[in-house]
Amino acid sequence: MSLISQNAFINKKEKQDEEPANESSLAIAEGGNELGEKPESLASKKKKNRKKRNREIDEKSRLEQEREMKRLESSLFGTLYSLPEFGKEAEVGFVLQKSAGDEMVVYKENLDAQVEEEEDVKAEREPVWVDEEEEKAEINILKVRRLRKLRKEAEEELISGKDYVARLRAQHAKLNPGTEWAQIDRKDNNIVDSDDESDSGSGVTVGDDVLRYNDELVVKSDVKLLPGLLEYSRLMDANGEEPSNGPINSVHFHRNGQLLLTAGLDKRLSFFQVDGKRNTKVQSMFIEDCPIHKASFLPDGSQVILSGRRKFFYTFDLVKSAVDKIGPLTGREERSLEVFEVSPDSKTIAFIGNEGYILLVSSRTKELIGTLKMNGTARSLAFVDGGQQLMSSGGDGQVYSWDLRMRRCIHKAVDEGCITGSALCASPDNTFFAAGSNSGIVNIYKREEFLGGKRKPLKTIESLTTTVNFMKFNHDAQILAICSNMKKNSLKLVHIPSFSVFSNWPAPRFSLQYPRCLDFSPGGGFMAFGNAAGKVLLYKLHHYQKA
């Protein structure tokens, strides 16, 4: 066969393969029957069978590849393609049912086994390594000073190694509450209600429902404060945004524990929102004719009383944001009303007057409602019994107890070792009171025993060597702060249950300058004091978790 005929045969074969639709017409032209059917040859049948087998193999291979891809995707991304069928149980534990309204309802089923399996996995989690000597070891936490804070009782000395590790962990968790995100079983509560999200339209997640409720964020600790070392940390100055240009004479927390007032000889009254980080200034006002010697919130939080070395005083209404000038008091000729105290029931303001007089002023009408008279000069005051009684001390070295309902003295006794009384304060629960003198001695008494005739103090604190100018109990009467403004760093904190001074306060390498006033927040978490340099130093007391 020639090359031309071979090419013609090949071209004809390719043409037949490319144009199968013309097969019937060719069959009729070459002598087929009337329907166009042509008897197929053996070679043509083999060829068709081979093509059919190839197509089946290709289709089978393609299906296997798709199944393999879905299996891999499911193992990597979950059962995205294994959708449950109607009326059949799916692998993920969901069932589809048809409701009366012809809507598909999806609900969870048979998940108890899955939850039990997860709990078994957690139960099987064991420490990688266990120290067998831990149970045998004994740690002396009383001998090492930095371990004394691990004690549960003041006399506790030896504990086992296992208890030692557990207390260290608890101490770390107490001092570092921000590591909750690292816990294995921690659940994510940053969920937004679909209704809330649709209403707001912002899609902002609210963590742990903090903004949904007005409950307390933290709970006050019921554990007793231990003596020896006080756990504290210094925060940003409370008046860091606007320090005073003169000595600070008053700092006082509002009853909400967040608002702090500061006042001093620069004639400025300032308010700060205390959070320990920014301490934003809220408001500040200038009292032109009165260098402020003392400023204080009324216990109900409605007003501020402020006074100086003047025959009048000022009130500032927090609701109306209005300042009123009160005085001089009718029938009195005092040239100074700089020392006063406010009763816990917010009804009475007691000012120290001339020649041993104590002036009682109504906080509602701001008018004089009565006077009390001491034998010596009056120098310090303290309300007790919710404002029904008043204690005073002064130049004769005696402590007076007054019944304000009858306006008369019900008890008078000498403060042991005192020549001139300079400071006085009572605990919030009226159990204790402390009396300071110009020699730096502070006597702590139990009030019931003192009224009953016992003159011996429970404890005499001799940590100060100059005149005691200021004293303050914290809210649970476990700490007493005493200070003198005549010497640097002369601010001491006394542990009342043991009547001992905290040895690590003040910090040895930090100067407090000349402290002049101090206050604890209502929950005890913050402690702020002002000094002669115009700063209000703020501290966090770690034992108390509430401001």
- Residue range of the domain that includes 279: 232-541
> Could you tell me if residue 272 is inside a domain?
yes
Contact 534, 267 (CB under 8 A): no
- 3-state SS, 331-378, equals CCCCCCCCCEEECCCCCEEEEECCCCEEEEEECCCCCEEEEEECCCCE
Alpha-carbon gap, residue 353 to 378, rounded angstroms: 8
Place of tokens 């309802």: 105
Quote the pLDDT of residue 187: 47
Residue 81 has pLDDT above 60, yes or no: no
Does residue 378 have a pLDDT over 50?
Answer: yes
278 near 542, Cβ under 8 Å?
no
Is the pLDDT at 17 greater than 50? The verdict is no
pLDDT at site 308:
95
| Band of pLDDT at residue 412, cut at 50, 70 and 90 | very high
CB 494 within 8 A of CB 500: yes
Q: How far is CA 505 from the centre of its chain?
A: 24
Among the ranges given (69-73, 307-311, 348-352), the one the predictor scored with the smallest mean pLDDT: 69-73
Q: Interior CA angle at 111 toward 107 and 115, to 5°?
A: 140
Residue burial 197-211, b: 16+ Cβ < 10 Å; e: rest: eeeeeeeeebeeeee
pLDDT exceeds 70 at position 182:
no
pLDDT computed for residue 156 by the predictor? 84
* 212 domain-assigned: no
Q: What share of the chain has pLDDT > 90, as a percent?
A: 55
Banded pLDDT at 445 (limits 50, 70, 90): very high
- What is the DSSP secondary-structure string of 169-221? HHHHHHH-GGGGGG-TTPPP-----HHHHHHH-S----GGGTTT--S-SS---
| pLDDT score at 166 | 87
Please, which pLDDT band fits residue 188 given cuts at 50, 70 and 90?
Answer: very low
The answer to whether the beta carbons of residues 96 and 85 sit under 8 Å apart is: yes
DSSP sequence for 380-399:
EEEEEGGGTEEEEEETTSEE
Q: Give the N- to C-terminal CA distance of the chain in Å, as an integer.
A: 110
Q: Is the pLDDT of residue 309 over 50?
A: yes
pLDDT value of position 207: 41
Average the pLDDT over 61-71 and give the result.
80
Q: Confidence class of residue 534 from pLDDT cuts 50, 70 and 90?
A: very high
* Domain count within the chain: 1
Per-residue pLDDT at 379: 95
Half-sphere exposure of 118 (CA within 13 A, CB side): 6
In a domain, 318, yes or no: yes
More confident of the two residues 302 and 30: 302
What are the structure tokens assigned to 334, written together? 């005092």
Q: What pLDDT does residue 204 have?
A: 38
Reduced to 3 states, what is the DSSP secondary structure of residue 24? helix
pLDDT at 430 over 70: yes
* Burial (CB count <10 Å: 0-12, 13-18, 19+), residue 411: middle
Reply yes or no on whether the pLDDT at 239 is more than 80. yes
Decide which of 184 and 85 is more confident.
184
Residue 307 lies in a domain: yes
Q: Is residue 114 part of a domain?
A: no
Amino acid 222: pLDDT: 59
**pLDDT tens profile 128-157:** 777 777 777 888 888 888 888 888 888 788
What is the C-alpha to C-alpha distance for residues 423 and 518, in angstroms, rounded to an integer?
Answer: 13
Please give the pLDDT value at position 178. Answer: 57
The residue among 46 and 360 whose pLDDT is bigger is: 360
Pairwise CA distance, residues 115 & 124, whole Å: 14
Structure tokens at 67: 């199944």
Q: The domain that contains 426 carries what CATH number?
A: 2.130.10.10
> Would you say residue 45 lies in a domain?
no
Q: Report the alpha-carbon distance of residue 276 to residue 254 in Å, rounded.
A: 15
Strands in 256-321 per DSSP E: 259-264, 268-273, 280-286, 292-297, 303-308, 313-317
Write the pLDDT tens digit of every residue in 258-280. 999 999 999 999 999 999 899 99
Q: Is residue 31 part of a domain?
A: no
Location of structure tokens 């101090």: 518
Ramachandran sector of residue 89 (left: φ over 0; alpha: ψ -120 to 50; beta: rest): beta
Q: Is residue 491 part of a domain?
A: yes
Is the CB of residue 406 less than 8 Å from the CB of residue 390? no
Query: With 80 as the cut, is the pLDDT of residue 191 above it?
Result: no
233-263 as b/e, with b when 16 or more CB fall inside 10 Å? eebebbbbeeebeebbbbbbbbeebbbbbbb
Average pLDDT for 285-292 = 94
pLDDT given for residue 117 in this prediction: 56
